[in-house]
Amino acid sequence: MEEKAQQLTTDVPGTGADAALSVLQRVEFSSASHPIHWSPVKKWIIVVIYCSLQTFITLTTTTYVSAEFLVQEKYGGSTQVVALGQSMFIVGTAVGPAFLGPLSDIGGRKWIYVASIGVYAILNIGTALARNLPMLIIFQFLCGAAGSTALSNVAGTIADLFGDMDGAGQPMALFVMSANYGPSIGSPIGELIAENEKLGLPWIFWINVIIGGAFAIIMCFVPETLPRVVISDAARKHKSSDPNEIVVMSERVDVLREIRFVTSMAFRIMLTEPIVTFLGIYNGFAYGLLFLYLDGVFDVFVVNNGLSYMSADLTYLNFVVSVTIMFLFVPVQTWLYTRDRKRNGGVGRPEARFLTSLLFVWGFPISLLWFAFTCDGSVSFWSPIVAGGLLGFCDPLLWLSMLNYIADSYTNVAASAIAAFLIPSFLIAAACCHIGIVMFNNLGAKWAMATLGFISFGLVALVYVLYFFGPRIRKWSKLARKH
């Protein structure tokens, strides 16, 4: 049986570890112990817990912004240097998945969650007690790397429980929704803490220690979801003689090889696959819009419209409403994709993932230009709020479409392709934290947002190019599927 398992991991048409994994997955699916066969209630409880964790981790990307004036008062430094605390946290979330993802394939995902979030809670003690600004920035980076488990492994957990992208459509929408909830509610929460004289700056981080520790304890009681581990444990417990289960038990993971493969393949894809490269760049722009938008909140809603600091931060909750609507809308996209696949002889076209985006990608320039030319206080402040809400619907919907498109296009190297997509996304989003400061200082809110609106027409063009010319572009690729 060990020879059979070894053959599965070496004689696979495709590329490297991801190709071998696709064969092992087919073997695993045949086992009654596979997590995909668990009850829907059990699976959704697990997904909700991990998506809640993701919301908690992403809070820090914006709670810190609300307390930047306190950071400057305590440690000094220019606005750009203080903003490094936010941007380096985001950079950490880009670095962490390169090793935390492969590590979750050793003994399962559960203890990687527990250990990394436990470390995240401990590292936040360092940020709370930081003696100077460099120390604070370094600990923010480390916190981002440790907390990135909530960004890198949750999607994998959903795949464990629900199978392919079709079965995982709605859970993946929840994953995207929770990733957007965190930055949206983080700003008002940070403002509440910063304005409270009994709390102040340290409690921005002490709360992370408390809640992070609680999550680490809770996750100790969440069942393992990695199919290989679940099936192996069940087979040993029941002394199974099923040859498929024995193959899974015999499979071994070389973690160093896995890390090398995912990392090297991710950089290869970034350098040689224009589809992934351009999607990553524009997703970084789209993700960065959340932080650029936050940079303009003060000028637009406090200066131009006369709202209080807290009221201005509460306007960011329009993203919460919008992304919730997006979650409810996803079944429409799923239905359109399923219909397209039936018309295509049962073969799913990756480009069909953009069917709804052909319309809603126009929401990027429309919402940004709408916001730009109604944010000067000459009309009700509700106008830019609604404009931001439109952006909050289109942004996560397009992100979900991009993730699905890449997973469909690079089936044999999906893990590496998504890593190649996310790394530039997070790095560009981190840069946007600093670019926004320059833009709003030099151009003002109106023309800063208008400039972003004009740039976003490139995102519209990219979606249309991929939809109409995607099959031809994939033919030029050595890694993307051709049919």
- Domain end (from 222, 245, 279): 222
CATH number of the domain that residue 42 is part of:
1.20.1250.20
Structural domain includes residue 313: yes
- Closest by CA position to 278, among listed 87, 437, 473, 24: 473
Residue 104: half-sphere exposure toward Cβ, Cα within 13 Å: 28
Can you give the residue range of the structural domain that contains 179?
31-222
Rounded to the nearest 10°, the torsion over CA 160, 470, 478, 261 is -30
Structural domain includes residue 128: yes
Domain co-membership, 201 together with 279 = no
Asked if 353 and 408 touch (Cβ cutoff 8 Å), the reply is: yes
Structural domain includes residue 39: yes
Domain co-membership, 281 together with 168 = no
Question: Could you give phi then psi for residue 428, rounded to 5 degrees?
Answer: -70, -40
CATH number of the domain that residue 329 is part of:
1.20.1250
Max CA distance (Å), the chain: 75
Rounded CA-CA distance 130/136 in Å is 5
Domain co-membership, 120 together with 39 = yes
Domain co-membership, 100 together with 167 = yes
Domain co-membership, 296 together with 185 = no
Structural domain includes residue 231: no
Domains identified in the chain, total number: 2
Structural domain includes residue 239: no
Structural domain includes residue 234: no
Domain co-membership, 37 together with 144 = yes
Structural domain includes residue 378: yes
Domain co-membership, 216 together with 269 = no
Domain co-membership, 319 together with 373 = yes
Domain co-membership, 282 together with 410 = yes
Structural domain includes residue 86: yes
Domain co-membership, 159 together with 101 = yes
Domain co-membership, 178 together with 94 = yes
Rounded CA-CA distance 205/127 in Å is 6
Domain co-membership, 166 together with 62 = yes
pTM for the model stands at 0.84
Asked if 416 and 304 touch (Cβ cutoff 8 Å), the reply is: no
Residue 252 burial class via C-beta count within 10 angstroms: exposed 0-12, middle 13-18, buried 19 and up:
exposed
- Domain end (from 222, 246, 275): 222
Per-residue pLDDT for the chain (483 aa), expressed as one digit of tens each? 333 333 333 333 334 444 444 445 554 555 677 888 899 999 999 999 999 999 999 888 888 888 888 999 999 888 889 989 989 998 998 888 777 767 776 678 899 999 999 999 999 999 999 999 999 999 999 999 999 888 778 888 888 888 765 667 889 899 989 988 888 888 889 888 988 888 888 999 999 999 999 999 999 999 998 888 888 777 777 655 555 544 444 555 565 676 677 677 778 888 888 888 888 888 888 878 777 777 777 788 888 888 888 888 888 888 899 999 999 999 999 999 989 988 888 888 889 999 999 999 999 999 999 999 999 888 999 999 999 999 999 989 998 898 888 888 887 777 778 778 888 888 888 888 888 888 888 888 889 899 989 999 988 999 999 999 988 888 888 887 655
- Domain end (from 162, 192, 222): 222
